[in-house]
Structure 1
Amino acid sequence: MKIRVATYNIHKGMSYRSHPRVHALKQAIAAFEADLIFLQEVQGQHDRIAARYGEERHGHRHWPQGSQHEFFAGESHQSVYGLNAQYDHGHHGNALLTRWPIQKWTNTDISDHAYEARGILHSIVETPKGIVHCYVIHLGLFERSRVRQVDALIDAVNLSAPNNEPVIIAGDFNDWRNTLSAKLRKALGVVEVFDEIGSGSSLGDLVRTLARKKAAIRPARTFPAALPFFRLDRIYVRGFKVESAEVLHGQLWAKLSDHAPIVATLKL
């Protein structure tokens, strides 16, 4: 069974000049044609922006009436939202969009200090071939915080997805120096989707794979979207074969968010 997965930090649905991009983002997210979509910086509520852009003008609303995750899910997907940061005029967090039913979900607070609210959104998704554990993550800006948050993630996965059950962990790791991947691989038995790209059965493929494994394995560049340089966004999997993975970048994506999305095709 093939599963198409995407992860995307949507920058709260706003451009750098604070103009709404939610309608263009909805079209872009639909273009992923993904079964599971892991979203970060999703606005569950923003009263100030809703008041400014929510009125209907010329038959069109620049800001949805409901929450962003429900707006992006539309009729094709279910959605679940984990509130992380709350303020006087609203809140934002992580979200999962899925074509399949959600059996159960939890949102765990892993905030490391008062200035950054972070969480792990865990959903058990019922695919036609069995359950898959999905974890949406957005780690902190400070390295020491990220180390502690990854420890919390490892504990959460070991507790909630025992016996090597299929796992997808995706999101914005802010791990630009790539110091956390080895720890996740060792503790959870996961691989990052770009670890296995280029592997195959031919002799040439084998030589390239061995050469890649001797070198430092690095995730893809996803930030900034206009000219990706930093390796911030990841998709880690367990129990899947990675068939393809790509970063979507270019002029279109640079207008939508400061991060470029990753889309991968997995075989369960």
Structure 2
Amino acid sequence: MKIRVATYNIHKGVSSMRGQPRVHALKQAIALFEADVVFLQEVQGRHDRNAAQFGAESHGHKHWPETAQHEFFAGASHHSAYGMNAVYDHGHHGNALLSAFPIGSTRNHDVSDHAYEQRGILHCVLQTEGVDVHCYVVHLGLFEAGRGRQTEALIEAVMASAPHGEPVIIAGDFNDWRNNLSDKLRNALGVVEVFDQRASNSAIGDLVRQLARRKAATPTLTPARTFPAALPWFRLDRIYVRGFQVETAQVMHGTLWAKLSDHAPIVATLKLA
């Protein structure tokens, strides 16, 4: 069985520069992934001010949908789940999952490290053909010490909810620009990141391995660059998997993606091992 997955921080459905609504364009862009499962961060469950400002009809549709963003993006083709993290007077936002498979159960883990930055891990169990797949939508904090504690909470959550080696997909915005967390996740959970195979599948990888053997060291595994979307440099967004073979993985680059959010999305094709 193959599963096509994507992860995308959508910047609450507004452009990162001028704060203009991008919700309808985002829905069309998400459809371009042709993904069975989409992991979304910074999803607006409710925003009364944007709804009031951008809700007027134009060219036959409203700029701001009446439904929550995750429901709007899911449409008729996908199921959806939402984990509310940041709550304020005029609304709230959090993580969401869109799934072509039925969602058997959901749970949102509060991993906020301090009062000024609300974060969560949304855990959904997908009922695929013959096996349940555990999906964890992640958006970690901006401070390194807090990300370390949140990663420990993520490891505990996965070990408690998928303790017997069940298939796992962990994806989202890790804000881990120094790549300090990947080895912790690999060692504790037995996961791989979808770009780990790049070194082993290329001619450059052969050279890297030869040099590594000479130095009695292994090549450093690095995630893809995804931020900022217009000129990606920082490696913030990840997809980690267990129980899957990674067939393809790519970052979506180009003018379209640079206009929609400050993060570039990652899309990967997985095959159940």
Q: TM-score, normalised by structure 2?
A: 0.94
CA contact (8 A) 2:140 2:150 kept: yes
SS in 2 for 1:155: helix
| Residue matched to 1:119 | 120
CA distance in 2, matches of 1:65, 1:240: 37
The separation in 2 between residues aligned to 1:172 and 1:124, in whole angstroms, is: 20
Please give the per-residue CA displacement for 1:157-202, whole angstroms capped at 9, x wherever unaligned: 00000111000000000000000000000000000000023645x9
Give 3-state SS (helix, strand or coil) of 2:84's partner.
strand
Question: Would you say how many aligned residue pairs link Structure 1 and Structure 2?
Answer: 266
- Structure 1 match to 2:206: 207
Cα contact 1:174–1:233 (8 A) shared by 2: yes
Q: How does 1:1-268 map to 2 (within 5 A)?
A: 1-15=1-15, 16-197=17-198, 199=200, 207=206, 210=209, 214-268=218-272
TM norm structure 1: 0.96
SS of structure 1 residue aligned to 2:58: coil
Letter in 1 for 2:232: P
Q: Distance in 1 between matches of 2:231 and 2:205?
A: 31
Mapped to 2, the partners of 1:239 and 1:220 lie a distance apart of 21
Tell me how far apart the structure 1 counterparts of residues 208 and 165 of structure 2 sit (CA, whole Å).
25
Task: State the shift of 1:209 in Å.
Answer: 7.8
| Structure 1, unpaired ranges of 5+ | none
CA distance in 2, matches of 1:50, 1:159: 39
Equivalents in 1 of 2:207, 2:124: separation in Å?
A: 36
Which consecutive aligned stretches of 4+ in structure 1 deviate over 4 angstroms post-superposition?
A: none
* Contact 1:107–1:120, Cα closer than 8 Å, also in 2: yes
Counterparts in 2 of 1:209 and 1:64: CA distance versus 1, 3 Å: farther
**Cα distance between partner residues in 1 of 2:207 and 2:269:** 21
Return 5+ residue gaps in structure 2 as ranges. none
Q: Is the 8 A contact 1:197 1:244 kept in 2?
A: no
Q: Provide the C-alpha distance between the structure 2 equivalents of 1:244 and 1:208, rounded to a whole number of angstroms.
A: 22
Paired residue secondary structure (2:196): coil
1:21-40 Cα distance to aligned partner (Å, 9 max, x none): 00110000000000000000
Amino acid at match of 1:76: S
SS of residue in 1 equivalent to 2:165: coil
**Percent of aligned positions that are identical:** 70
**1:70-100 C-alpha deviation (Å, 9 max, x unpaired):** 0000111000000000000000000000001
> Could you tell me how far apart the structure 1 residues matched to 2:2 and 2:198 are?
16
- What is the CA RMSD across the aligned residues, in angstroms? 1.6
